[in-house]
Structure 1
Amino acid sequence: MGTREETSTALIIGAGIGGLAAAVGLRRIGWSVTVLERAPIIAEVGAGLTLWPNAERALDVLELDVGPRTIPTISRGNVRTPSGRWLRHSHPEDVGVLAIHRADLHDVLRKELPEAALHTDAEVVSVSPKGAVVCRSAGEEHELSADLVIAADGVNSITRRSLWSGDPVFQHRTVWRGVTPSGSVWPVQESLTLGRGVQVGVLPLPDERVYWFVMVNGDRPNQLYADDRREVLNRVGDWHHPIPALIATTPEDQVLHNDIVDIDPLPTFVNDRVVLLGDAAHAMPPDLGQGACQAIEDAVVLAACLASGDVSDGLKRYDEQRRARVQPMAEAARASVRRTSNTSWLAHFAVSVAARLIPPAAWRKATAQWSDWTPPTLPN
């Protein structure tokens, strides 16, 4: 593999948040990076997300300022019933997060990279453990090679499926997401509304936009609906304000629908010169709000582990550190799915009582335990 005496090279598969963060991190330690994205343009779709303190610290290590694109808020601080009754209000002890639109975070990362490093319409066909990648572009196949291949190609990673194993696992949950037009429903307060087997989240975003999600149980994967917005309104259209208004004002073609899937834990994230990162390595349900945060953590830890110049040793340390951190987290996310998907009256009553009676310090520990993380530093 390459050494720091000669410029080390990396091929990064996937230009999502994890892939771009990895590119930024490796460039910070002097590597040359090439990002391969199968889409014709590099852009992030999706809705809002929360950056917990662990992700904020990781972004600081990458010297990225997302502040102007965020709104400080409290995730899971305000909990309500479908009728609007408050089960819990946020407390000073709660851990603050930054709310950001996924596309804005993606834009901040992309602007740190030179255009020459980003290659679109590059569909990866195969990956060799020795660092060779075959990609198809404009109808032609090209073979590329590098000292390291970073697979950041998501939960359906072709790299993981070909060199490891691990098809996505349907968690019998499905979610609709959307972002309202600026000022259409404003102001709003962050909240999480708990129904029997149903969760509705509301999160304010910059520019007087609002991110919302509706998560419900699903009988089978890949179920399609003729009108997603109408389907969501049929389910929660009689819930408290502003939930119906948020859904109704979101353009129909901007309501996103996805099944909740994850992957079983892998025995390693490294295969010779190929390393998994982000959802390709440890996709988890969104219940903890840590999916994008962990991809950013991966990028920083990988860069720090490779900064010494010994790539083999660096990959070993990355693998050990990241599996020890993310795999228990992924299991905790699955456990959360089991709780929130339970439709029994008794289970819902227990969750509601807990939201009302758990002391603030215990609530903070339960909701924010994964945010207590200190990132490594990168050399100048």
Structure 2
Amino acid sequence: MPPDLHVAIVGGGLGGIALAIALKARNISFTIYEAKSAFTEIGAGINLAPNGLHALREIDASLGDRIYALATRNLPPSEDTWMWVRYGAGHRDGETVVELRAPPTGCMAMHRQELLGVLAEKMGYEHAQFNKKLVSFEQDDDAVRLRFEDDTVESASVLVGCDGIHSRVRACMFGSDSAIARPHFNSDGAYRAVIPIADAKKVFGETARQSQVLLGPNGYVIYYPVNNGTAVNVGIWVRRAGHVWDRKDWVVPRQGAQFRRDLEGWGPRVRALMPFFGAEPAFWAAHQHRVQPASFVQGRVVLMGDGAHAMPPHIGGGASQAAEDAYVLAELLASIPPKDASLAAVRAALRAAESVRMPRFLAVQDISVRAGPDWYSFFERGLEGEQLEGWSVGIKTSVEWVWNVDLRDEVSKAKQTLADSCDARSR
């Protein structure tokens, strides 16, 4: 008889720890394996959308209040606004194009490492192992066995790859040389800075205290308050159409000359930001999983989070999709009888979760990818009248579809799929 259900989570980022919390709340045994010596997240600011907060609350009800306490939001009475989209150049510089509202969260901004710390504290460390770099895995009817770089071998009923865009689990599933396993350059990237609020107000006035997107030539600028309003996180995104990324590193230092060229043609407010980026800012290249498999499940193994659907951050959807993954997957794993961790039972649960998650996260990934060119080309298109209204409605429709998901209904559909599968197997 197979052993009791035990889940191996490879990757201790936001998605992996969210899944661990969800499993803990549902009394499912797990171990989380992190390749580094501590839980860490790359990057600075993060926006948690309404669907992300909803997912975390479904994972564990106590997370909602803790995240609200951590987040920096827009000032009253604009707490429900996600972004004001404005012109960033030309004679309309500073004028509002559209206000995007996202009740009940609006723009919930926080530092990635702070959010990770809150989640890790909730999870606890008794089931975490560090310095565990996965080399390979193999599976059979009884278990999946994970082999690590330190020559240790661990067994589990389920392996969940939460190990990010460079996922080793994904590479083992599809082959390291496969186009499916390789991240692809997204033809864009950003310069980043965190600016004290006093300096940001000198540039943007009182709008420095509220989340904004500025649209200009071949790019956009996004900024929003962080650290309880004491600083402003700024990203200057630029298009690199037709550029082939042939560098090993994705963060390229000393890009001052290119930075200055990229800001030619922008309005005086955006150009006034330049000193706060330093003389030689780094360029962060954006990548995504452009080639996707027919399924993210192989037997006892499944991918989630950026390991499954790494996407550019043009609608701020990646972290929230990882939280959705964690909630749905935990609910389906909780549907497996604890004494039946057979291959058939595990595979049926994973495929049922995938039946609702895969169409959704691939659609969100597609929206995120297409949002970049929408932002980048807006200024040059010079839209007016009905065309401008149509563009604004299109942006609203896309993001509202992403934000306004009924996750409990998604879980109900997946559980019905699982039940139908079990009925079919029993006949």
Give the structure 2 partner of residue 19 of structure 1: 16
- 1:41-60 matches, cutoff 5 A: 41-60=38-57
- 1:1-380 matches, cutoff 5 A: 6=4, 8-62=5-59, 63=61, 64=63, 65-73=66-74, 74-83=81-90, 84-88=93-97, 90=99, 96-130=106-140, 131-136=144-149, 140-164=150-174, 165=178, 166=180, 167-181=182-196, 184-186=199-201, 188=208, 189-207=210-228, 208-218=230-240, 219-221=243-245, 222=247, 225-228=252-255, 231-236=258-263, 239-240=266-267, 243-244=270-271, 248-249=275-276, 257-309=284-336, 310-342=345-377, 345=380, 348-350=381-383, 357-358=389-390, 364-376=396-408
Task: Flag the 1:158–1:247 CA change in 2: closer, same or farther, 3 A.
Answer: farther
* CA deviation profile, 1:79-117 (whole Å, cap 9, x unmatched): 222353314253768872322221121111111122222
In structure 2, distance between residues paired with 1:278 and 1:260: 15
Which deviates further from its counterpart, 87-96 or 41-50?
87-96
Answer whether contact 1:2 1:311 (CA < 8 A) is retained: no
In structure 1, distance between residues paired with 2:112 and 2:326: 17
In structure 2, distance between residues paired with 1:103 and 1:172: 27
* CA deviation profile, 1:183-238 (whole Å, cap 9, x unmatched): 55355132111123211111111331211112212322137644246753553387
Task: Flag the 1:180–1:32 CA change in 2: closer, same or farther, 3 A.
Answer: farther
In structure 2, distance between residues paired with 1:344 and 1:287: 16
Q: Which sections of structure 1, spanning at least 5 residues, go unmatched?
A: none
Which deviates further from its counterpart, 122-131 or 335-344?
335-344
SS in 1 for 2:123: coil
Q: For the pair shown, which has the larger CA radius of gyration, 1 or 2?
A: 2
SS in 2 for 1:313: helix
In structure 2, distance between residues paired with 1:25 and 1:357: 42
In structure 1, distance between residues paired with 2:253 and 2:100: 42
Q: Which sections of structure 2, spanning at least 5 residues, go unmatched?
A: 75-80, 337-344, 412-427
Q: TM-score, normalised by structure 2?
A: 0.76
SS in 1 for 2:314: helix
Answer whether contact 1:177 1:214 (CA < 8 A) is retained: yes
Question: Per residue, is there more helix in 1 or in 2?
Answer: 2
Deviation at 1:370, TM superposition (A): 0.8
SS in 1 for 2:200: coil
Answer whether contact 2:286 2:312 (CA < 8 A) is retained: no
Q: TM-score, normalised by structure 1?
A: 0.85
In structure 1, distance between residues paired with 2:103 and 2:382: 23
SS in 2 for 1:58: helix
In structure 1, distance between residues paired with 2:183 and 2:72: 33
Deviation at 1:250, TM superposition (A): 5.5
Task: Flag the 1:91–1:146 CA change in 2: closer, same or farther, 3 A.
Answer: closer
Deviation at 1:78, TM superposition (A): 2.8
Give the structure 1 partner of residue 423 of structure 2: none
- When the two chains are superposed, the root-mean-square deviation of aligned CA atoms in Å is 3.1
* CA deviation profile, 1:104-155 (whole Å, cap 9, x unmatched): 211111111222222222111112244211112xxx3111111111101111
* CA deviation profile, 1:60-81 (whole Å, cap 9, x unmatched): 1122130111123433333222
SS in 1 for 2:41: coil
In structure 2, distance between residues paired with 1:251 and 1:117: 42
* One-letter amino acid matched to 2:397: K
Which deviates further from its counterpart, 49-58 or 157-166?
157-166
In structure 2, distance between residues paired with 1:101 and 1:126: 33
Task: Flag the 1:193–1:146 CA change in 2: closer, same or farther, 3 A.
Answer: same
* One-letter amino acid matched to 2:97: R
Deviation at 1:360, TM superposition (A): 7.3
Deviation at 1:260, TM superposition (A): 3.0
Answer whether contact 2:333 2:349 (CA < 8 A) is retained: yes
* One-letter amino acid matched to 1:90: E
Task: Flag the 1:299–1:360 CA change in 2: closer, same or farther, 3 A.
Answer: same
In structure 1, distance between residues paired with 2:225 and 2:288: 26
SS in 1 for 2:99: coil
